[in-house]
Chains A and B, each alone.
Chain A
Amino acid sequence: MNYSDVFREKELVQGLARRIAELTRGRTEPLVFMEVCGTHTNAIYQFGLRSLLPPEVRLISGPGCPVCVTPNSYLDRAIALCRLPDVVIASFGDMLRVPGSSSSLMEERAKGADIRVVYSPLDAVQLAAKHPEKRVVFLGVGFETTAPTIAGSILAAKAQGLTNYFVLASHKTMPQPMAILSADPELQVDGYICPAHVSAIIGADAYRFLCEEYKVPCVVTGFEPTDVLQGVEMLVRQAIAGESKVEIQYSRVVRWEGNAKAQAMLADVFTPFDAPWRGIGVLPGSGLRIADKYAEFDAELAIPVQVEELKEHKGCLCGEILKGKVSPFDCPLFGGKCTPESPVGACMVSSEGTCAAAYKYGR
């Protein structure tokens, strides 16, 4: 048995599910927990965990898929950049299918744009070193988990003296949107399944203000089935006892203070800014842009380009879905006009998107 199988043991998982059922039996109002992170959303669907939970516990998905919360305006800029003859776009694969106002990167690639899928931003740095005649733009999208590697790529490019490597940065940071959701009177969340790997960077202490200000339980939870159900059980126990504190279920990885080295890299290379979230709007201090001292690597500043006028897709409920207010099945476009082949909204694109997971596993 290997390391990951231990956390997928059927008896353990079903034992946890039974305990959750016993703890919540007879409740008239279900307990609603939001998993904030897209990897949790995917794991919950992939392992069919909802089907193991009692009706007294409802899991809803939040805004934690980086591709899904990336706004149209960002895609439009990336598309405008890829149309420049000497620009190579390097990106994680999921971004290619995200629709912008009138096109997508995949469509642009079919029309001849040079768009490469890479698995690490350092591959993009290598690409730039190999092709000094090109300008390589990496699409820096993601939360605190991926942001340090992208910071690392900028530092690597600087160390190599590269002048043709750029990042189009749209990083998001985690606790802020949870505060917005907690303050939303339409949304009753009884507890957060807090992100696993984001928390490894920022530390579990980052959620304390949520518990104090909004009286909502927070459990930092791992991605394996036993992790998720143990996290749910910890939330159930807090909710029943009327407590609201931060707990770490994922203690084999996450510390209260987080990863100091990664935090220092982020503080060096990036500056917090008011980032636009798809469907949610501009949230104060919720994103990371490239710091002034690294401005020569900022694609937005270094490569001026005409970006087309923003058009939002009508009828798409991604915004409400990202806030956990409606389920994908409530969206009139879901499965009809909006499918993984021709997504209307970003939630249908990424494997971590709520709609894509619901489409693939949930029907």
Chain B
Amino acid sequence: MNNDLILLGHGSGGRLSHQLLDELIIPQLSSVPVKGQNDAALLNIGGVKLAFSTDSYVVDPIFFPGGNIGDLAINGTVNDLAMMGARPLCLSVGFILEEGFSKEELSRILASMRQAADAAGVAIVTGDTKVVPKGKGDRIFINTSGIGALEHNLQIDGASAHVGDKIIVNGCIGDHGIAVLSAREGLEIDSGIKSDSAALNGLVTGLLTLGPALHVLRDPTRGGVATTLKEIALQSGVTVTLNEESLPINPGVKGVCAILGLDPLYVANEGKLLALVAPERADEALEIMRRHPLGKDAAVIGEVTETSAGKVQMETLVGGMRGVEMLAGEQLPRIC
């Protein structure tokens, strides 16, 4: 087989994306070996601790139930900063527009970007706009980068999972991926599912009060909950055991997944986080989440059961046990 080409699967957030990063991108761009990848870089500039992150948005269609490419671009980068426990401060925005794109649509996108930034309490402070000839882009692509302030000394990253930790999710999984998919041309399904696109920094502020009992925060975007947990398991060298019965999933998401043969564990989220919390503070973490509007369906979905080379398994609905692997190939391209 020819391995010289970039395939859509390289953008899936799953195993192929990891390969591309590990084998090509990181070795050429980073002088420091990267041990485990987190959602943002942590910088110490003259004693000031900052988190820095960037993300590009190519979602198709650009408008979908529950949001559009604009609020997604704000929330996504805000969430990447928040997952390091940082307080998001400001963002840059870069637009790549295709010749012929409608100003009315751009204006709607800008309005929702503004609204999302205000809701998250971040300022958009710099930006750039480029236009490419018709047919050389697809209407609009957006890049956002963000800076956040780290105002604590906690160790919150993917390598900090401990045996015994409870795994908590702040609500139903798979909504974003299914909302986008339902809006796609040729597949118009009236699932009633809306994207969960939302800024999670407010929720994280609450969770930070747990102090050192808060071990890992991750937003399960592309690749879904399964891929994110596998990454954490590998980074921390532990086994994560999920309980399928306790996974909060909207009936509409279950239905669409059943029809299309998708697994909700691999479907993207844009307003969900996974928190790994020491068992003695797990109830409290759950309470903090449930008090927040973005966490009212929060649930404990599993725990870290032992040290290992990095394994995820799941007790199924019917009491069987099975392995859970990272997303392979592309489940749904261009989901964010």
| Contact in complex: B15, A13 (CB < 8 Å) | no
Instruction: Out of A107, A339, A360, name the residue touching B323 (CB < 8 Å).
Output: A360
A interface vs B, CB < 8 Å? 2, 4, 8-10, 13-14, 45-52, 97, 99, 102-104, 106-107, 109-111, 118-119, 123, 225, 339-342, 351, 356, 359-363
B308-331: which residues lie under 8 A (CB-CB) from chain A? 314-325, 328-329
**Which 9 A-B residue pairings sit nearest by Cβ, starting from the closest?**
A48-B320, A340-B328, A13-B318, A48-B322, A361-B322, A110-B5, A48-B316, A225-B318, A51-B320
Q: How far is the CA of A14 from the CA of B318 in the complex (A)?
A: 7
Are B319 and A14 touching (Cβ within 8 A)? yes
Partner of A52, one of B6, B8, B319, B325: B319
Please determine whether B319 and A111 come into contact, CB atoms closer than 8 angstroms: no
Query: Which residues of chain B have C-beta atoms less than 8 A from A342's C-beta?
Result: 1, 3
Question: In residues 255-269 of chain B, which contact A (Cβ within 8 Å)?
Answer: 258, 260-261, 263
Report how far A123 CA is from B188 CA in the complex, Å. Answer: 12
CB neighbours (8 Å) of B154 from chain A are: none
Q: How close is A230's CB to chain B, nearest CB, in angstroms? A: 13
Query: Do A107 and B318 touch (CB < 8 A)?
Result: no
Say yes or no for B111: interface residue by CB 8 A criterion. Answer: no
12 inter-chain pairs at a CB distance below 8 angstroms, sorted by A residue, are A10-B317, A14-B319, A46-B316, A48-B318, A48-B319, A103-B1, A106-B7, A107-B2, A109-B8, A341-B9, A341-B16, A360-B328
Given contacts A123-B186, A340-B328, A361-B323, A49 and B5 within 8 Å (CB-CB): no
CA distance A106 to B328 in the complex (A): 14
- Taking chain A's interface residues, is the majority helix, strand, or loop, or is none over half, making it mixed? helix
Q: Nearest residue in B to A224 (C-beta to C-beta)?
A: B318
User: Contacts of B251 on A, CB cut-off 8 Å?
Assistant: 2
In B282-336, the 8 Å CB interface with A consists of: 314-325, 328-329
A-chain residues with CB within 8 Å of residue B316 when the two chains form the complex:
46-48
- Whether the pair A360, B325 counts as a contact (CB closer than 8 A) is yes
Determine if A51 and B317 form an interchain contact, defined as CB atoms under 8 angstroms apart.
no
B15/A110 in contact, CB under 8 A: no
Q: Kindly state the separation between the CA atoms of A51 and B261 in the bound complex, as whole angstroms.
A: 23
Known contacts A49-B320, A52-B319, A341-B15, A104 near B325 by CB under 8 Å = no
Q: A102-B1, A225-B317 are in contact. List 17 more A-B contacts (CB 8 A).
A: A8-B317, A46-B263, A46-B322, A47-B316, A47-B318, A48-B322, A104-B1, A107-B5, A107-B7, A110-B5, A119-B186, A119-B187, A225-B318, A351-B261, A361-B322, A361-B323, A363-B323
A4 interface neighbour in B16, B19, B258, Cβ under 8 Å: B258
Nearest neighbor of A16 in chain B, beta-carbon distance: B318
Residues of A within 8 Å of B320, CB to CB, are 47-52, 225
Q: How far is the CA of A103 from the CA of B317 in the complex (A)?
A: 39
Bound CA span A360–B9, Å: 17
| CB of A123 to closest CB in B, whole Å | 6
Contact B1 A10 (CB under 8 A): no
Closest-CB distance, A117 to chain B (whole angstroms):
9
| B23 CB, min distance to chain A CBs, angstroms | 12
Q: Which of B314, B315, B329 has the most CB of A within 10 A?
A: B329
Which chain B positions have C-beta within 8 A of A50? 320
Question: Is B322 a contact partner of A107 (Cβ separation < 8 A)?
Answer: no
Nearest-neighbor residue (CB-CB) of B16 within chain A: A341
B-side contacts of A97, CB under 8 Å: 329
Residues in B neighbouring A225, C-beta threshold 8 A: 317-318, 320
User: Could you say which of A10, A47, A340, A363 contacts B329, with CB atoms under 8 Å apart?
Assistant: A340
- What's the least CB distance linking B322 to chain A, in Å? 4
Cα distance A31–B315 when bound, in Å? 26
For A100, the closest partner residue in chain B by CB is: B1
Q: Which has the most chain A C-beta neighbours within 10 Å: B186, B258, B320, B328?
A: B320
Which residues of chain A are near B7, meaning CB under 8 Å?
A: 106-107, 110
- Determine the chain B residues whose CB is within 8 A of the CB of A9 once the complex forms: 318
State how many angstroms separate the Cβ of A159 from the closest Cβ of chain B: 21
In the complex, what's the smallest C-beta–C-beta distance from B90 to chain A, in angstroms?
37
**Are A359's CB and B325's CB within 8 A?**
yes
Report the minimal beta-carbon distance from B256 to chain A, rounded to whole angstroms. 12
| B1-32 vs A, Cβ < 8 Å mask (1 yes, 0 no) | 11101111100000110010000000000000
Chain A nearest Cβ from B36, distance in angstroms: 20
Scan B169-199; emit 1 where CB is below 8 A from any A CB, else 0. 0000000000000000011000000000000
Distance in Å from the Cβ of B22 to the closest Cβ of chain A? 13
Per the bound structure, the CA–CA distance linking A361 and B321 in Å amounts to 9
Residue of B whose beta carbon sits closest to that of A103 = B2
A2 to B251, CA, bound (A): 9
Residues of the A chain whose Cβ atoms lie less than 8 Å from the Cβ of B5: 107, 110-111
CA distance A119 to B262 in the complex (A): 13
Which of B258, B316, B324 has the most A CB atoms < 10 Å from its CB? B316
